[in-house]
Structure 1
């Protein structure tokens, strides 16, 4: 081949590659435009967009949908009026959105820890489970958060673990007929908390042995308690039913701390995760600027397919 023809062919190939890369970039930009649906199902909570949408949660949900979000979560759902719960459920249904987690009232805390094995504490927990079933029906919720509470320091750790498992079995019996899953959340807020690690939660879920008792993996808390996020999630994968996120330090939106959320989200996508990713964090900025910053951060870390 003559040198002139070689150079011509080389330039043609290079030009085609540039065109393909440009087209791919344009397609990804189109996918990332305002209002496009995200690759993962991120779930904001009330107040994240109140500067634009106002204080009414139903209006804010509609605005979240306009931004491209397809789920919400609301820890305090059980504290809302029945009328408001119904309106939220109807709004989600009309928009084709999912309800993420809400917290089971008194589902285990420092005052009635399930690790103690005391019947009065178990009764409080089971009452909260029954109340949660009725709330879940109004908003079509499939997941509810349970935290077993604090250590009972006068008991051996194995006995405490057994007490937690037995209490959760009773809770699972309430939720299972309704297709609702308790998701157990290990936390980092206090060293007094009984449930702190993902493998510990995995062990308890296996002990309960119910599809209605699974692991809520909050990457913010687990980054603080154990790190090694992708490896630990992979170890516990078949018991994980729900994900929450927040960057560390600061517990704000992704890109504000040390966690490489683009890689974490890419891994979740490659694992085929179709569940909810709860935006369980605050915001680095306030007002409309903060809302724009929040959405841009999620657009950035959700851009893992290029």
Structure 2
């Protein structure tokens, strides 16, 4: 789910335990204020510490963080370096806690104009420079498709930095199978690359949520044939 603040964490933990559900990830740090601004870094560290406690309560192994929107009079290179610096500050925290931070690049053509981090190339470079097994990428295939295409090729280039996969189709951010992305081929590539982590369905279903899940399972089944 998105930010944990304002949610009944105890109730979520209870329901998950009763129903055997695992919380795959939640958002620990959103768009504003951006971690691309060094003025936010002390707050960023404190929020990650708090979020680690929430993750432990939920038995959740991953937390999403977002780079932030463009800052006037600051170059993209400077903003990206600030993201690196912020991640290095919390690197010892998440490594000690055993909770993975997953940095999510967006797209700026359709949904997040003015965001400072989009596509895989810069995001992979950032994570490689931080160099931690507990700081990887929330690889959202919807965003990657809009930003750069070549989904399978980009996955091959950056698979060592993939910590989580999110899926949705384009246009509309509906469930896979409703748009132009041929997901069975992408799932096939993920399997060939040895990805065994979770795949999150972050979309607005065309019909019902159950039908969206069935469509997802169908695509995965075809990729296994």
TM-score, scaled relative to structure 1: 0.68
CA distances 1:11-55 after superposition (whole Å, capped 9, x unpaired): xxxxxxxxxxxxxxxxxxxxxxxxxxxxxxxxxxxxxxxxxxxxx
Query: Is contact 2:36–2:83 with CA below 8 Å preserved after alignment?
Result: yes
Secondary structure of the corresponding residue to residue 164 of structure 2? strand
Q: Quick one: distance in 2 between partners of 1:272 and 1:129?
A: 29
Q: Does 1:150 align with 2:85?
A: no
Q: Quick one: distance in 1 between partners of 2:27 and 2:209?
A: 25
After the TM superposition, which of the residue ranges 212-221 and 291-300 deviates more from structure 2?
Answer: 291-300
Match of 1:172 in 2: 91
Query: Is contact 2:35–2:67 with CA below 8 Å preserved after alignment?
Result: yes
Please state how far the C-alpha of 1:184 moved relative to its aligned partner.
0.5
Query: Is contact 2:169–2:179 with CA below 8 Å preserved after alignment?
Result: yes
Q: Quick one: distance in 1 between partners of 2:105 and 2:218?
A: 28
Match of 1:198 in 2: 120
> What stretches of structure 1 of length at least 5 have no aligned partner?
1-73
Match of 2:38 in 1: 117
| Greater relative contact order (CA < 8 Å, ≥ 6 in sequence) | 1
Query: Is contact 2:159–2:193 with CA below 8 Å preserved after alignment?
Result: no
Match of 1:275 in 2: 197
Larger Rg: 1
Match of 1:99 in 2: 23
Secondary structure of the corresponding residue to residue 302 of structure 1? helix
Q: Quick one: distance in 2 between partners of 1:291 and 1:194?
A: 32
**Alignment RMSD (CA, Å):** 1.7
Which structure has greater helix proportion? 1
The equivalent position to 1:130 in structure 2, one of 49, 56, 62, is 49
Match of 2:7 in 1: 80
Query: Is contact 1:78–1:135 with CA below 8 Å preserved after alignment?
Result: no
Query: Is contact 1:78–1:102 with CA below 8 Å preserved after alignment?
Result: no
Q: Quick one: distance in 2 between partners of 1:77 and 1:265?
A: 30
> Compared with structure 1, are the counterparts of its residues 85 and 135 closer, same or farther at alpha carbon in structure 2 (3 Å cutoff)?
farther
Please state how far the C-alpha of 1:208 moved relative to its aligned partner.
1.2
Q: Quick one: distance in 1 between partners of 2:76 and 2:3?
A: 31
TM-score, scaled relative to structure 2: 0.91
> What stretches of structure 2 of length at least 5 have no aligned partner?
none
